[in-house]
Copies of this chain bind each other. A is one copy, B any other.
Amino acid sequence: MKMSELYVPTLREIPSEAEIPSHQLLLRAGMMRKLVSGIYSYLPLGYRVIRKIEKIVREEMDKSGCQELLMSAIQPKELWVESGRWENYGPEMFKLEDRNNREFCLGPTHEEYFTALIKDEIKSYKQLPLNLYQIQTKYRDEKRPRFGLIRSREFIMKDAYSFDRDFQGMKAAYQNMWDAYEKVFKKLRLKFKIVEGDSGAMGGNESHEFIALSEVGEGRIAYCDNCEYAATDEKAKVSYDLKCKDEEEKKVEKVYTPDLRTIEEVSAFLKIEGCNFAKALIYKAKDEIVFALIPGDRELNEIKLCHYLGIAEHELELADEDVIKEITGACVGFSGPIGLKKGVRLLVDSRITKMKNFVVGANETNYHLRNVNYNRDFSGEVVEDLLLVKEGDLCPKCGEHLKMDRGIEVGNIFQLGTKYSKSLNATYLDENGKGQYFYMGSYGIGVSRTAAAIVEQCHDDKGIIWPLIVTPYHVIITVINVKDQSQTDLGEKIYKELDKLGLEVILDDRNERAGVKFNDRDLIGIPIRITVGKRAKENIVEYSLRASEDNMEINTDKIIENIKREFKNQDLDIKEI
């Protein structure tokens, strides 16, 4: 393709709304455009990347025995009511009505729909196992769409659903998808970790996330270098050495702590460490008020709290000042477990029960209580673990200290068990003619998000550095001076030769300054570059890679050999392309 004809509207300025490199670069490189918050178009170069990612996903899915189909994005309300997710899914679901006022949603995911599809058609155990996938546009009305393709409202996803006779079958399907996903992300040359995930709105049993490592990732993971343990911070089970002294229970004292509302302030004032405080968090949880108490030096994990309460994430929110005043009788900052209004549900992280003589809010403005002890002074529902993991906590498998990292969730796999087959009453007949619920799994890859994750891992301050396997074009030929006939002729000649080999080539034939062309090619990140300049008459061109600083002059008859070497370096064969 000639650059003069290619639609690549590059931008010099960083668009103000773009906070992270992939978002900035995909916009600047003319690969995508924003329509409205969280909704993007893929321009020609960007869409070539998307399609290449899709191709790799498709190949690995097909190899794994998964069969491709395509469902509608529109789904009727009834399916979601049956599964109980019409309400539960919350405001992230785009809902609409048709001209006859029938209610629908735009599928954020397709568990219900696949279950309903299979339900009346797979009748016998002989037709199992079955694994079906689609690559489709999905819709989630994110509360805070951001980071471009990383958290958008309309996005491309590969989703697969497996149907098995029993738990063992489901486990095998899960492992099969695990292996296929590893292959996909390795092929895409992503640095990633596979971590235990939270099943969230999916329900079901075990789940894992494939996290592309990245500083800007919204996902935080805890992992152990000693063993294989790794989990999202939402999921990771918290274990750590409590610094509680084995001392006598002392007498409760009320202390005057004027205007000191945070644990840091009170801790400094009383000269008592934060770990000897019990921190109160008050929530509106669906229809009730919940008072959670955790060690003062820790953060609460809201996902764990939701699971314990059996509510959806969007049903939990921090209580406002009025509510706090009503249930504690005091201003914000002085809440404690003693003397709460009746009817408030008091949840106590299990660590609190082991602490001695700790500080809590007095439920009286400007006062705290010290030397409070669980059981003696108050009691509540003890919850084993309400805490968010942090660096240095103990590995729940081997006891070593955990490390933390950040990343972008590019894939996830879920063991759903019989959650959906039961709620939608989907059964097959076993050998004895007896109806049995399907054991299901569901498996997602964020295709558009993966494109962004690749950019996060493959860029420098000049632009993107595409791996050959997903680059929109393999080679860019830059003609320095298009008014020099020998240069344009040679550029054209090389362009045709490489094209004939099946390589995807851009010929930058624009009548622009060399600097503009160099900046554009750095920005759009084509991996292999050929520069045709003054020595065109001698058949000498410059050959360089986007990923390295090296730049060498070579005779044109060495071009193909060099390109082949680079393909080989990236574990590819030109013929594969």
Contacts and interface: CB of A to CB of B under 8 A. Distances in A.
Contacts of A122: 9
A95 B94 contact: no
Contacts of A40: 72
A99 B141 CA distance: 7
A392 interface: no
B75 A35 contact: yes
A117 B102 CA distance: 33
Max count, chain B CB within 10 A of own CB: residue among A70, A92, A113: A70
Interface stretch (A43-51, A370-378, A398-406, A453-461): A43-51
A33 interface: yes
Interface in A46-85: 46-48, 50, 65, 67-76
A39 B99 contact: no
A91 B99 CA distance: 6
Contact of A117 (B33, B96, B130, B139): B33
B72 A50 contact: no
B98 A41 contact: no
A44 B70 CA distance: 8
A239 interface: no
Contacts of A92: 99
Contacts of A65: 5
A41 B5 contact: no
Given A94-B98, A141-B99, A71 B7 contact: no
Contacts of A39: 72, 74
Contact of A74 (B50, B72, B154): B154
Nearest to A4: B126
A244 interface: no
A319 interface: no
A50 B96 CA distance: 27
Contact of A154 (B7, B46, B73, B141): B73
A96 B96 contact: yes
A42 interface: yes
A153 B70 contact: no
Interface in A162-197: none
A91 B71 CA distance: 24
A73 B42 CA distance: 12
A121 interface: yes
A320 B35 CA distance: 44
B99 A132 contact: no
Interface string A95-117: 11011001000100000010001
A35 B141 contact: no
Contact of A9 (B41, B46, B99, B121): B121
19 contacts: A7-B67, A9-B121, A33-B117, A35-B75, A36-B76, A40-B72, A41-B69, A41-B71, A41-B72, A41-B113, A41-B117, A44-B69, A46-B69, A50-B70, A73-B137, A74-B139, A99-B143, A106-B106, A137-B137
Given A7-B67, A94-B98, 12 more contacts: A5-B65, A7-B130, A9-B121, A33-B117, A36-B76, A36-B102, A39-B74, A44-B68, A47-B69, A74-B94, A96-B96, A99-B143
